[in-house]
Amino acid sequence: MLSTSRRLTRRQALASAGVGLSAVLAGCVGGGESDGLSTGILDPEQYGSGFAGREPPGGTSMADLPALSGTLDVYSGRGEALVRRVMDAIRSLYPDLTLRVSYGSSSDMVNKILGEGDNSPADVFYSVNAGSLGALAAEGRARELPSELLSVVDEEFQDPEGRWVGTSGRARAIAFNTDRLAAADVPTDIFEFPDRPAFRDEMAWTPSYGSFQAFVTAMRLRQGRPPTERWLRGMLDSGVQAYPDEFALVQAVADGEVALGFANHYYIQRVLDGRQGAPLATAFTQGDAGAVFNVAGAAVTDTSAVPETAANFVRHLLSAEAQEYFAVSTYEYPMIGGVSPVGELPGVDELAPPADIDLSRLSDLGPTIELLREVGAL
Amino acid sequence: MATRTGILDGTEWSEDVPLGLLLLAAAIAAVLLSPLLWVVSSALDASDWVGLATAPRTLSVLVNSGLLVGAVTSMSMLVGVPAAYLTVRTDLPARRAFTILLALPLVIPSYIGAFAFLSAFGPRGLLQAALEPVGIETLPSIYGLAGTTVVLTLYTYPYVYITSRASLLSMDARLVDAARTLSHSRWAAFRRITWPQIRPAVAAGALLVALYTLSDFGTPAVMRFDVFTRIIFVEYNDILGGGRDLASLLSLQLIAVTVVILAVESRVRGSGVRTARSAPGMTVELGRWRWPAVLACLLVVSLALLLPLAILGVWYLNGSASASLDFRLGYVLNSVTIAGVAALLCGVLALPIAYLSSQTAHPAAWIVERASYVGYAVPGVVMGLALVFFGARYGGVFYRQGLILLPLLVFAYVVRFLPQAIGSSRAAFLGVSGSLEEAARTLGHSPGQAFRRVTLPLVLPGIVGGAALVFLTTMKELPATLLLRPPGFTTLVSYIWTVQQAGYYAQAALPAVLLLVVSAGSMLVILASEQYDIGWGRR
Amino acid sequence: MSFDEQSQTYGDTTENGIVDQLRYGHPERDPDAKTLFELDAVSKAYDDTTVIDDLSLEIREGELLTLLGPSGCGKTTTLRLIAGLETPSEGRLVQDGTVVARSEMSIPADQRDVGVVFQDFALFPHLTAAENVGFGIEDHENRGERVRSLLELVGLSGLEDARPETLSGGQRQRVALARSLAPAPELLLLDEPFSNLDVDLRVEMREEVRRILKETGVTAVSVTHDQEEAMSISDRVAVMNAGQLEQIGRPEQVFQQPESRFVASFLGHASFLSGTVSGDVVTTGLGEVPLGRIHGLSAEYEGSRVDLLIRPDDVRGARPAGHATNGTVVHRRYLGPTVLYRVELESGDMLGLMHNHAEEIALDAPISVQLTADHDLAWFPRGRRQMADGGRSTSPSTRADSENGTE
C-alpha cells in the first residue's frame, strides 16, 4: 500500500495518488502507456484498438471526492473478476482505508444481510441486478442515500425512494449479422419478430439465461400473461433456436448460423472486441420489453456503522474513472452523463427502454419460468 | 461401567449405557443439530406454512426428490456392489488400477461433473456436434430425472463401492467356497452367503448416497430437475416474492425426509454384527465374462472421470482468461488447511458417537448416532445461512470483525460431513472383537487404558479413512464456502467458481485439475486404510 | 436334610424317591486346603432370563478346577463373574476373604488379581508375541526378562517378534497362556481353551497346559463342554446344568458316583437298570445285585424301586448259550476299536454295551448280558428311563412309571 507522507497536503497526496489510480485502473503492470491525460485510464492494448482515442471521461474524478478511511465492508454480488480492479484502485488511492469485499451471488448476499440482522457487518451492498437491490430495500435494510449522490444518476435508474442507485446498466438488444440483415430490417417492435417470414429459423434466444427471463418478465408485467404466451409460442413456431448462453449466441450470429438473436448489449461488444471486423451489429427495440434496461447498483445498509463513508464509497462507483472502467472493460452502459458507452452504441438517453417498469420487479422470475416451461421453451 | 459379551458370541448387546460416553456423544450431536433449529423456526415463522406445505408445487418437489433419491440409491448400488465384487473377488485384469479408478469419481464436484455431462451429451454438446454431420440433429433429452440420476449415480456410487469393498475384504470368504461345493451357483452363493454379510455395509454406503443426493444442488440445477435443492435455491433468490418462507419450509421437509431415510437404513443395517474372522476365499474366475466386465468398468471410469477431465481440457484450450484474476498457490493452501482442520475435528468428534453406537443398541445411543447424520442431507446454502444467522446473533463484535467466519465455516463442514467419519469409525469399532478389550481389562488395564492401548490402534485406520473422506468432500464443497468465507479468503473452489461466473473457463481448468489431484490423494488414503484387516493386522 | 457320611453329600429323599437337587460342593477331606475364591449363592439374570441360579462354589488354592456342562448351562457366565467381567444379580463373590462382588456391585476386572485365557485367545493383532505377553507386566525394568522366561515356559522361545496372524492355533494358545500368566495372577481362568484347536492338537495341548499350570503353581478354573478334557486334566470337576451346580468332586468321584441323572448322563454313556430292593439285593433284569456293591444303598430302602447306573463297559455281552438270553440287540454303532450296542433287556430296560470289534453280534440277535463292573454302582430313584444317547425303551412298565416319575 502506498504510504503517503503526511507532510504533503491532502490534495497533493490525492492528486499524486490519482495518477497511480489511473495506472492501476489501466491495468498497467510493468508500465503500459496511458494516453497522457491524467484521468486517462485506457490502455489500448488491453481493450482493443477500437477504443483508442476515446474522449476523456466526464463527471467527477475520484480525486475530487471526499477521502475514504476506516474500515468498510462491501458485500458484492458482482463477480470478483469484474470489480476487483475498481476495488484495488480505491484501495491504492486511500491507504487509510481497509476495504473488505465479500463476493457471492446477489441473492446470497441479500439473504446473508437479512440473516445477519442487526449485527451485519455489511456497509455496502453492490448488486448485479436491480431486483436484489429492491428486495433489500423492501425488507427495510437499505438506507436512503444522500440526495447529492442520487442527483448524479437519472431517476429511472434508481430507487424511487432513494434507497439504491444504479452504477452501470445493460440493455436488452438485438444482435444481428450485417451480412444477412440491414439495420433497417430489424423491427423496433418486439412483437413483430415472430411474424416476419424472413426470420423463420433465423432467430436465436437463451431461455435459461437470467437476463432473458428478466426480459420476458418485463413483457409479462407490461402486457400480461396471454400476449406474452402468444409471443413465445409465435417465436417457437418460427423456429427460434435455443442457446445455452448469450455469449455463444452472439458468436453464432457473427458466424452466420442465425441472422439475429436476443442478448445483453455487452455480449455483442465482447464478440466485436474479440473479432475485429465481424459482421455483427447491435439494434434496439423501442419502448417495449425488448429494450428493457437493467442496472447493477449499490445500496448502503441500515445497520452500517459508517453510513457516510459507505455512501461516499458508492459515490466513488459513480466517479469518472469507475464509470469509464465499466464502460470500457465490461462494456456496460455508464450511468453518468459524462461517459459514453463503447462502440457505436447510442447513449443511454438515446435508448428507449419501457418507461413503466419497476426494475426491482424484474427478479420475479418464478412465474416466468413456469410460463417458459409451459410453452415448451424450457 | 457397562459390560458386554463378546461380539464373537453374536449375542446380546449390553443394555447398560456408559453414561459419561452417552452424555458426551449426545452433547456433540446436539451441537451438530443446533443450526437446524434455525431452519425449523424460519419454516414455522412462514406465513401460511400449511398452505405452502401442501401446495401442488411443494408436493411435486417432494415426489421428485423422493424419486431421485430412490433412483440414485438403487443405481449406485447396482454399480457400486458389482464394482466392489469385481475388484475384491475376481481375477479382473488390471485389478489394482481399477480399484483406484473406480473410487475416484467421488473427488469430482457435482457441478463440474454435471457440466461435463451436459457439455458432452447436451443438446448443443460435443456428441451432438460430432453426430451432426451424420445427420442426427437432436439427441434424446438428458434433462430431468434420467439425466440427473445418471450423473448423480456416476459421482456417488463410490460411497457404496468403498463400503462394500471394506465389507467384502473383512468377510470370511471361505464360506462362499463352502457354499459353492454345496452346488450353489455363483449367484446363489452370493445371494445367500455374501449378500447378508455385506448388506449392512452396502446400506451404510447407500445412506451416504441418499443423503448426498438430497443435499446436492449442482447436478439437479444443471440437469434441470426440480428437487428440493433446486427449488430452495430458486426460492431463496426470489426474496421479493417471499420465497424465503417457502425455502425454509422445503428445507424442513427435506430434513423430515432425511429422518425417514435414516430410520429405514437403520433397519436394513441391523446391529452390525460381523463374522469372527476374515479370510480370503478362492478368486472367482470370470472366464468369458472377463472382457465385458473390463468394458463395463472402463465405461464407468470414462464417463465419470475421463469426461470431466476432457471437458477441463476443452476449457483450457478453448476458454478465455482474464488478466486480473491470477491463481495463487496460496488458495490451495487455504483449501487444504480448512479441509484438514475439518477432517481432524471430524475424526476426533466422531469417536464418542461411533464408539457408543458400536457398544450398545440402547435407544438413546441410536438416537444420538442417527441425529448426527441429519446435517449431511442439508444443502450447503441452508447450512450457510443458518450459521450466518447464529453467528451474527451470538457472535457480537467477533462476527462483525469477521473473526469467527472461518470457525463457522469449519463448523459447517463438520456438521455436514461428520457422518462420513462416524460411519467409517463405527465400522472399525464393530470390527474389533469385544474379547480384545476384555483381555486388556483382565490384564490390569482400566477401560480408558484398554481403549487407548488396544482398541484405538486397531480402529485408527478406519478413523483415518473416515477423516480422509471428510477431507475430500470438504475440498469440493461450494455453497457454504461461498457464504461463510471471510473477505479475502479464497479457496480452490471459490476461485473456480469466481472465474467460471465471469466466463473465464480457461482459468478454471488448471485449478480444477489441481483440486482433483489433491482430492485424489485423500482417496488413496481412504483406499489404503481399508487394507488394514483389523482382525489380524496388516495384510 | 441329612448328611450322608459315605457319599459326603447332603441328600433328601421324598416319598416318591426323588433326591433334592440342592447340593453343596463340599471340601475334600483335606482340612489344609485353603479356599482361594468363593461364590456364595450367586445368581445372574439378564432381563427375564436367569443364567445362573443360586450357585455356590469354592475354589481351592493350587487346584485345577473345571466347570463342565452343556452350552447354555452358565459356565462361561460363572467364569466371567469370577473374572469381574460381569456383575452378579444376587449373592457374593469372595476372593482371599475380600468381597469382590455383590449384588449390582463389582470390582472391575482390571482390579482383580485374576487372569483369563479367552476362547478365541484374543491376542492383540497389532502387537508381537512378546509385546502381547508383556502387556500386563507393570514392571518395566524386568519385563523383557520375564517375557523371555514365560515364552520359554510355554515352549515358544524364538517367536518373540512374531505377529499373531503368523502363528498356528497351538502357538497362539501358548502366547495367550503366557500372557495371562505374566502378571502372576492368583487365579487363572480358561474359557474353553482348547475348543478352537484341531482335535489332534487338543490332547497334546491340554497335557501341556496342565504341566505349565502345575509348574507355576497357579490356581486355575477351566470351562469346557468336553467331558473327556475335564476328566483328564482336572483336580476337581464341577458339573453345571441350567445355571445350577449339579455336582463337584474329583473326576472319578463324579464319574462313578454321579449324584444326579444329569451328571451321570453327561459324563459318558449312561444306562439305567431298573430293579427293586429286596432284602440285601436288588433284583434286576440282569440278575441280583448285592446291596454292598451299590454305593450308598442301605437296607432302609427295602422295597424301593431304583435305577442302577450302568456304563457300557460295566456289562459284557456274549452270544447266548442255550436259552440264557436276557436281551436283544436293537442297535449297533461302530466306533472303530469297539462297538457300542444298544440292548433291550427282557425286563424292558435299554442298556448300552461296549464290545470289541472282532466279534460281531448282529442286529436283532439275542444276546446274553452280564454285569461285570468291578466298582460300586451308583443308583437313583426310579424315574423316566432314558439312555444317554436318546434311545427310549418302549416297555409298558416304563410308560406307567413315567406318569408317576418326574426328573
Mean pLDDT over all residues of chain B? 85
Residue pLDDT, tens place only, A331-342: 899 988 888 888
Note whether A365 contacts B488, CB cutoff 8 Å. no
pLDDT of residue A74: 96
pLDDT of residue A51: 56
Q: Where in the sequence of chain C do the CATH 3.40.50.300 domains occur?
A: 25-262
CATH of domain C25-262: 3.40.50.300
Mean pLDDT of B355-378: 88
Closest-CA residue of B relative to A367 is B241
Res. A166 pLDDT band, cuts 50 70 90 = very high
Mean pLDDT of B161-168: 88
Residues B445 and B454: their CA atoms lie apart, in Å, by 10
Number of structural domains (chain B) is: 1
A with C: touching (≥3 Cβ pairs within 8 Å): no
Do A95 and A326 touch, CB atoms closer than 8 A? no
Q: Which residue from B240, B402, B498 is facing A134, i.e. has the nearest CB?
A: B240
Indicate whether B354 pLDDT > 50.
yes
Bridge partner list, C352: C342
Position C184, amino acid: A
Instruction: Find all residues with CB under 8 Å of B188, minimum gap 6, and list them.
Output: B179
Res. A49 pLDDT band, cuts 50 70 90 = very low
Cell of B187: 449367484
**Residue among B278, B436, B442 with most chain C CBs within 10 A, to mutate:** B442
How many inter-chain contacts (B to C, CB under 8 Å) are there?
82
pLDDT of residue A44: 34
pLDDT of residue B278: 64
Q: Where in the sequence of chain C do the CATH 2.40.50.140 domains occur?
A: 308-404
Q: For the whole model, what pTM was predicted? A: 0.81
Mean pLDDT of C35-48: 89
Q: Is B151 helix (H, G, I), strand (E, B) or coil?
A: helix
Note whether C135 contacts B453, CB cutoff 8 Å. yes
Mean pLDDT lowest among A249-263, B6-20, C393-407: C393-407
Closest-CA residue of B relative to C191 is B435
How many inter-chain contacts (A to B, CB under 8 Å) are there?
117
Indicate whether A25 pLDDT > 70.
no
Closest-CA residue of A relative to B125 is A244
- Does residue B168 lie in a domain region? yes
- Does residue B413 lie in a domain region? yes
Indicate whether A46 pLDDT > 70.
no
- Does residue B5 lie in a domain region? no
Residue pLDDT, tens place only, B9-19: 333 344 466 78
Residues A30 and A33: their CA atoms lie apart, in Å, by 10
The candidate with the shortest Cα–Cα distance to B163, out of B272, B50, B310, is: B272
Indicate whether B222 pLDDT > 60.
yes
Query: Which residues of chain C make contact with B433, given a CB cutoff of 8 A?
Result: 120, 122
Per-position b or e across A299-335, b if 16+ CB within 10 A of its CB: bbbbbbebbebbbbbbbbbbbbbbbbbbbbbbbbbbb
User: How close does chain B come to A64, measured CA to CA in Å?
Assistant: 26
The candidate with the shortest Cα–Cα distance to B515, out of B111, B107, B218, B101, is: B107
pLDDT of residue B233: 83
Position C252, amino acid: E
Q: State how far the alpha carbon of C185 is from the alpha carbons of A14, B83, C178, in Å.
A: 87, 51, 11
Closest-CA residue of C relative to B443 is C136
* C-beta atoms surrounding A138 within 10 Å: 14
CB-count burial class (<10 Å; 0-12, 13-18, 19+) for B11: exposed
pLDDT of residue A6: 38
Note whether C110 contacts B445, CB cutoff 8 Å. yes
- Does residue B365 lie in a domain region? yes
Do A213 and A365 touch, CB atoms closer than 8 A? yes
pLDDT of residue B295: 93
DSSP C116-127: EE-TT----TTS
Res. C278 pLDDT band, cuts 50 70 90 = confident
pLDDT of residue B406: 93
Query: Which residues of chain B make contact with C221, given a CB cutoff of 8 A?
Result: none
**Residue among A73, A78, A80 with most chain B CBs within 10 A, to mutate:** A80
Bridge partner list, C192: none
Res. A22 pLDDT band, cuts 50 70 90 = very low
Do B493 and B129 touch, CB atoms closer than 8 A? no
Q: Which residue from B238, B392, B488 is facing A364, i.e. has the nearest CB?
A: B238
Query: Which residues of chain A make contact with B504, given a CB cutoff of 8 A?
Result: 81
Q: Is the CB of B436 inside 8 Å of chain A's CB atoms?
A: no
Q: Is the CB of B393 inside 8 Å of chain A's CB atoms?
A: yes
Instruction: Find all residues with CB under 8 Å of B108, minimum gap 6, and list them.
Output: B155, B304, B305, B308, B476, B516
Res. C388 pLDDT band, cuts 50 70 90 = very low
Residue pLDDT, tens place only, B444-490: 998 889 989 999 998 898 899 999 999 999 999 999 999 999 998 99
Mean pLDDT of C261-271: 84
pLDDT of residue C390: 45
Where are any strands of DSSP class E within B358-405? none
Note whether B482 contacts A104, CB cutoff 8 Å. yes
pLDDT of residue C200: 83
Instruction: Find all residues with CB under 8 Å of B163, minimum gap 6, and list them.
Output: B201, B202, B204, B205, B423, B427
Note whether B502 contacts A79, CB cutoff 8 Å. yes
Bridge partner list, C190: C117, C222
Per-position b or e across B270-279, b if 16+ CB within 10 A of its CB: eebebebebb
Query: Which residues of chain B make contact with A136, given a CB cutoff of 8 A?
Result: 239
Q: Is the CB of B520 inside 8 Å of chain C's CB atoms?
A: no
Residue pLDDT, tens place only, A276-325: 888 999 999 998 899 998 899 999 999 999 999 999 999 999 998 899 88
Q: Is the CB of B109 inside 8 Å of chain A's CB atoms?
A: no
Range of the domain at B320: 21-33+48-538
pLDDT of residue A20: 40
pLDDT of residue C398: 39
- How crowded is the C-beta side of B104, counted as CA atoms within 13 Å? 25
Q: Which residue from A29, A110, A369 is facing B239, i.e. has the nearest CB?
A: A110
Bridge partner list, A205: A242
Q: Which residue from B12, B442, B446 is facing C115, i.e. has the nearest CB?
A: B442
Percent of chain B residues past pLDDT 90, beyond the cut: 40
Query: Touching C: which chains, 3+ CB pairs < 8 A?
Result: B
Indicate whether B49 pLDDT > 70.
yes
pLDDT of residue A47: 43
pLDDT of residue C177: 92
Mean pLDDT of C60-88: 91
- Does residue B39 lie in a domain region? no
ipTM of the modeled complex: 0.85
The candidate with the shortest Cα–Cα distance to C121, out of B278, B277, B449, is: B277
Indicate whether C124 pLDDT > 80.
yes
pLDDT of residue A53: 66
User: How close does chain C come to B259, measured CA to CA in Å?
Assistant: 31
Instruction: Report the side by side order of strands in the sheet with C90-95.
Output: C49-60, C35-46, C90-95, C98-102, C105-106
Indicate whether B176 pLDDT > 60.
yes
- Does residue B2 lie in a domain region? no
- Does residue B52 lie in a domain region? yes
Note whether A132 contacts B401, CB cutoff 8 Å. no
Closest-CA residue of C relative to B7 is C120
CATH of domain C308-404: 2.40.50.140
Most confident of A267-281, B77-91, B489-503, C23-37: B77-91
Residue pLDDT, tens place only, A4-15: 333 333 334 333
Indicate whether B258 pLDDT > 80.
yes
Q: Is the CB of B279 inside 8 Å of chain C's CB atoms?
A: no
Most confident of B213-222, C297-306, C388-397: B213-222
Q: Which residue from C83, C126, C136 is facing B444, i.e. has the nearest CB?
A: C136
| Helix (H), strand (E), coil (C) string for C323-348 | CCCCEEEEEEEECCCEEEEEEEECCC
Note whether B12 contacts C183, CB cutoff 8 Å. no
Percent of chain A residues past pLDDT 90, beyond the cut: 45
Query: Which residues of chain C make contact with B536, given a CB cutoff of 8 A?
Result: 125, 164-165
CATH number of the domain enclosing B105: 1.10.3720.10
pLDDT of residue C19: 30
Q: Is the CB of B237 inside 8 Å of chain A's CB atoms?
A: yes
Q: Which residue has the higher pLDDT, A271 or B322?
A: A271
Degrees to nearest 5, angle at CA C260 with C258 and C265 = 75
Do B11 and B5 touch, CB atoms closer than 8 A? yes
Instruction: Find all residues with CB under 8 Å of B385, minimum gap 6, and list them.
Output: A111, A112, A115, B38, B236, B483
A with B: touching (≥3 Cβ pairs within 8 Å): yes
* C-beta atoms surrounding B133 within 10 Å: 7
- How crowded is the C-beta side of A316, counted as CA atoms within 13 Å? 25
Most confident of B85-89, B275-279, C259-263, C335-339: B85-89
Percent of chain C residues past pLDDT 90, beyond the cut: 25
- Does residue B7 lie in a domain region? no
Query: Which residues of chain A make contact with B324, given a CB cutoff of 8 A?
Result: 27, 81, 84-85
Mean pLDDT lowest among A79-83, B47-51, C267-271: B47-51
Q: Which residue from B124, B239, B494 is facing A243, i.e. has the nearest CB?
A: B124
Indicate whether B286 pLDDT > 90.
no
Res. A360 pLDDT band, cuts 50 70 90 = confident
pLDDT of residue A21: 44
Mean pLDDT of A211-226: 91
pLDDT of residue B150: 93
Note whether A116 contacts B241, CB cutoff 8 Å. no
Q: Which residue has the cell 438430497?
A: B214
Do B269 and B78 touch, CB atoms closer than 8 A? no
User: How close does chain B come to A51, measured CA to CA in Å?
Assistant: 18
Mean pLDDT of A26-33: 34
Domains of chain A listed by start with CATH number: 10-169+294-334 (3.40.190.10), 171-293+351-375 (3.40.190.10)
pLDDT of residue C32: 62
Residues A111 and A135: their CA atoms lie apart, in Å, by 10
Q: Which residue from B15, B438, B443 is facing C183, i.e. has the nearest CB?
A: B443
Q: Which residue has the higher pLDDT, C333 or A120?
A: A120
Q: Phi then psi for B360, rounded to 5 degrees?
A: -145, 150
